[in-house]
Structure 1
Amino acid sequence: MAEALAGFRPARRTPVEAVPLAAALRRVPAEPVTAPHPLPGFARSTVDGYAVRAADTYGVSEGLPGYLTVTGAVRMGAEPGVTVVPGAAVAMPTGGVLPPGADAVVMIEYTAEAMPGTIEVVRPVAPGEGVVRADEDARAGDIIIPNGRPLRPQDLGMLAAAGVTSVRVHARPLVTIFSTGDEVVPPGTDVLRPGQVRDATAAALAALVADAGGSPVPGGIVPDDPGALEKALRAALPASDVIVISAGSSVGVRDETAAAVARLGPPGIWCHGLAIKPGKPTLLAECDGVPVIGLPGNPRSALVVFRLIGAPVVRLAGGCTVAPPEASTRARLSRDLASATGRLDVVQVKVGAGVATPVFGLSALLSVLTAADGYIIIPEEATGLDAGSEVDVILYA
């Protein structure tokens, strides 16, 4: 499975647009953003205290304090009107501009007023101590925000500090979601006839698409008719950045879905079937430049596979090359878990008191997912995990 996913790297990327900083959270920059000037732009104090010449504090101690004359004070937001000369000190607030002549700031905790206009210093400081350089955050031209990584709150703060009020980002990928099956009916159906099921998968997939930075577009429910599916897919292809199909679980329906996808355009199907449980009948294709993902019909299988495989494809289409980290925790496995070599197993678990307890059930049961706090992955090379093993649990947000 790892080889199939590593090789499936569709080239499609969404267009670039400029958005204001207020709308840029989680958007993906299309190009690196550089500092237009040094940041913070001036040397400033990191503590409340006194701006001094570091050499004037050498050798001082609590038993042998040094004495400096206070010649002025720096106000916040104002340029200093005083220069620090030998034997002098200037009162400093945190964030204040370092006055000329000073090369350090001694914390107020290490000073005391000896007499009006004179302080004693009981701890020496080194040049640069208590000070941020004018270009310590960034030099002019430095990359302050890389491309390919979704913007975080702290990134927006950095951009604002640099005076950048808009950023060029990739448009959100438009992801068209189709459900298929004669038995599938809209969620708003009040009364189900025998054999009918409400479409639970599309709503959950839309949420996962949004989590991955995409814009979900409902494609509707298509009957088990390869001609109807192909027609619907062809109609959606021009306006889609990614197409997702929740296909039927039976072999015949899967084959019809694959045949419809194969006729959409080159290069066609990348793989049909993955060594993963749940989710073996997954289909990956690229048709006329649009990635197409065929998911199993069982809701749990579809959602598990899309989280692992579909979400990265959506992110990539939106220019994201550095996926945001997922929340996880370490826990001890409560029981033995068997697995087949050469197959990646995804096991849902509940977590409590540092213990991961597997939650089992058929792939058609959504209650397994709603009961789980997260999941663990048994790698392809493993034959299982022993009770008591330390495992990484990927947590659901």
Structure 2
Amino acid sequence: MSGREFFTARTVADALAGFRPGHRTAVADVTLADALHRVPATDITAPGPLPGFVKSTVDGYAVRAADTFGASDGLPSYLDLLGAVLMGAAPDVTVRPGGCVAMPTGGVLPDGADAVVMVEYTAETMPGTIEVTRPVAPGGGLVRADEDVAAGAPLVSGGRPLRAPDLGLLAAAGVTRVAVHARPRVAIISTGDEVVPPSTTTLSAGQVRDATASALAGLVTDAGGEPAVAGIVSDEPGALKTRLTEVLPDADLVVVSAGSSVGARDETAGAVAAVGDVWCHGLAIKPGKPTLLADCAGTPLIGLPGNPLSALVVFGQVGVPLLWRLAGCETPPPAPSTRARLSRDLPSAAGRLDVVQVRVRDGAAEPLFGPSALLSVLTRADGYLVVPEPSTGLDAGAEVEVILYR
């Protein structure tokens, strides 16, 4: 890779659809306490039906539905109270014609009953006699034994991150351990003679503290990965190739934050080409055109622009979906979003994806602009909007979708 020109830039859509290294993280057996947001390797099926018994969904009385037909305030039905069901215990009473049994929410339906009438539509007119003022249909006020999940049916699907309700459903089924993909290990390398550690107290002329690595580590963690900050590599020829050789064996994804100069970009491209196959060098995205994607014997590598804002935008658009794919999830969970009106005209160039930072106030999305070296543009933003490749811009007042930062 010689020159001072990019390859023909690929679209972001092309990158998401076409850049698919085969590597996936290993599968590990974890407890439910460690499973939140992890991706199951396969579907997990129910060992038995849930809830496993017919139960009441209301406080009231277990009845034969036919005994309540025609009941009303003016002409109630009167039923004999035969007993009560206790929570956590099997019923010791059977509902016979003209009788009823007191039921708590969640109680087991006694034999002979086929419905539960709500307590609000009943009254104990005299000891041992219940007045019913509303009819109930067969199955009313009940949950079937397999209404939540049938035996053998999927509890959770493989390839979808586990959410809190999923953990609850697994626990209800007695599944306490799940086989999930390991969290992807992401090696983050910063490059550039001008870049110094954040702990540097006094900067010399031209030096900048490494802000990108810390921010990238946060994005990796937020997407379920495990960041490993691999330090700063100088622009000396061969230095980056050596570091890549060191980190690749233990990484599921390598991210290189490259310098902004053409020479630095050339050094990164050359080093990457020496250890892997470059899939593209240049994305049709603003900010972030000088992005490199490569496959290093199955391990993906992303070469990001040196400017922090550009690097973080590109990683959010391309790196985060790739990170989820490595963890076994082909479709990343959607980010929160809101609809808003654009506060001003927003010009764009057809043929590239524009990612614009915005602040949302009172239903209006205000674009925030600034050089791609300024992280404060991101810290002031509530989220971003995307101007798609075919568009030449958006008009003031247009309704837009704003992807919100968590």
Q: Give me the TM-score of the superposition, normalised by structure 2.
A: 0.96
Aligned to 2:86: 75
Aligned to 2:58: 47
Q: Deviations over 1:22-52 (max 9, x none)?
A: 1111111111111011101111000000000
Contact kept? 2:64, 2:112, Cα under 8 Å: yes
Task: Report the alpha carbon displacement of residue 278 of structure 1 after superposing the two structures with TM.
Answer: 0.2
Task: Report the alpha carbon displacement of residue 226 of structure 1 after superposing the two structures with TM.
Answer: 3.6
Q: Deviations over 1:372-393 (max 9, x none)?
A: 1100000001110000000000
Q: Deviations over 1:325-379 (max 9, x none)?
A: 2111111000000000111000000001000001110000001000111000000
Aligned to 2:290: 281
Aligned to 1:315: 324
Contact kept? 1:51, 1:104, Cα under 8 Å: yes
**What is the identity, as a one-letter code, of the residue corresponding to 1:392?**
E
Candidates 108, 118, 138, aligned match of 1:107: 118
Aligned length: 395
Three-state SS of the structure 1 residue aligned to 2:160 is coil
Candidates 194, 197, 218, aligned match of 2:205: 194
Candidates 387, 398, 403, aligned match of 1:378: 387
Q: Give me the TM-score of the superposition, normalised by structure 1.
A: 0.98
Q: Which runs of 5+ in 2 are unaligned?
A: 1-10
Q: Deviations over 1:147-194 (max 9, x none)?
A: 111111111100110001111100111100000000000000000000
**What is the identity, as a one-letter code, of the residue corresponding to 1:143?**
P
Q: Deviations over 1:172-224 (max 9, x none)?
A: 11100000000000000000000000000000000101111110011110001
CA distance in 1, matches of 2:237, 2:30: 41
Aligned to 2:305: 296
CA distance in 1, matches of 2:16, 2:39: 22
Three-state SS of the structure 2 residue aligned to 1:69 is strand
Task: Report the alpha carbon displacement of residue 9 of structure 1 after superposing the two structures with TM.
Answer: 1.4
CA distance in 2, matches of 1:148, 1:220: 33
Three-state SS of the structure 2 residue aligned to 1:243 is strand
User: Is 1:89 the equivalent of 2:67?
Assistant: no
Percent identical residues: 70
CA distance in 2, matches of 1:49, 1:4: 59
Candidates 151, 158, 166, aligned match of 1:155: 166
Three-state SS of the structure 1 residue aligned to 2:295 is strand
Aligned to 1:342: 351
CA distance in 1, matches of 2:280, 2:330: 22
**What is the identity, as a one-letter code, of the residue corresponding to 1:311?**
V
CA distance in 2, matches of 1:373, 1:221: 30
Aligned to 1:139: 150
User: Is 1:217 the equivalent of 2:217?
Assistant: no
Contact kept? 1:64, 1:122, Cα under 8 Å: yes
Three-state SS of the structure 2 residue aligned to 1:369 is helix
Aligned to 2:275: 264
**What is the identity, as a one-letter code, of the residue corresponding to 2:246?**
A
Deviates more, 1:174-183 or 1:112-121: 112-121
Three-state SS of the structure 2 residue aligned to 1:263 is helix
CA distance in 1, matches of 2:85, 2:122: 17
CA distance in 1, matches of 2:68, 2:263: 84
Aligned to 2:404: 395
Q: Deviations over 1:259-281 (max 9, x none)?
A: 1111103xx11111011000000
**What is the identity, as a one-letter code, of the residue corresponding to 2:242?**
K
Task: Report the alpha carbon displacement of residue 239 of structure 1 after superposing the two structures with TM.
Answer: 0.6
**RMSD in angstroms over aligned alpha carbons?**
0.8
Contact kept? 2:15, 2:318, Cα under 8 Å: no
Contact kept? 2:32, 2:177, Cα under 8 Å: yes
Contact kept? 2:23, 2:299, Cα under 8 Å: yes
Q: Deviations over 1:242-261 (max 9, x none)?
A: 00000011222112211111
**What is the identity, as a one-letter code, of the residue corresponding to 1:201?**
T
Three-state SS of the structure 2 residue aligned to 1:233 is helix
